[in-house]
Structure 1
């Protein structure tokens, strides 16, 4: 791993019937297994909705975007909706340019995402 790189981590918890996947560090090729385990752990909770929390993500590269697309595809195949929160303005713009935002609702924070999910 390069100097200064932050290893990816995923913490999963359930809040209000929504599986929240808190992502930490750098979302790149080395994060693939972490993302996969995070999705599996979240899916095991049996929710109809997932929230990807990017609030502690330092960096996302093109491979990381592809991993997120993979999560979206799996969630859709499993009949789950996906929301996102905690994106910096830069990554929010990237999600809009790449049209990822067309396939998930983006919120400023976890509270607003959970409020929409429960309402």
Structure 2
């Protein structure tokens, strides 16, 4: 099954929604499909790679994402938690706890509804 990552603008300037899923028989992205082919870790690593490349090209943009189900959001939280130290070197990672677009810095113990990430700006002195 062909997969797709799609970035679309939201109503809030500089915030883009990340959508991910299978391409269905009609050519549309289906974010509710379940492949069950054992490639979850490869898919998550690919999504991180795509976000890394996207935010490298557009460092001023924030990426908003949530799972299409509560289970998938929990999966994203677990994956981010597992790699938090490494991801935090490149990204500011924020969490929405109530689904009301009020974000706080992410840490492992949070019960998260959605995420907002942004590439950190590199600071250096001349």
Coarse TM-score class (shorter-chain normalised): 0.3 to 0.5
Give the helix-richer structure, 1 or 2. Answer: 1
Max radius of gyration: which structure? 2
Relative contact order higher in (CA < 8 Å, ≥ 6 apart)? 1
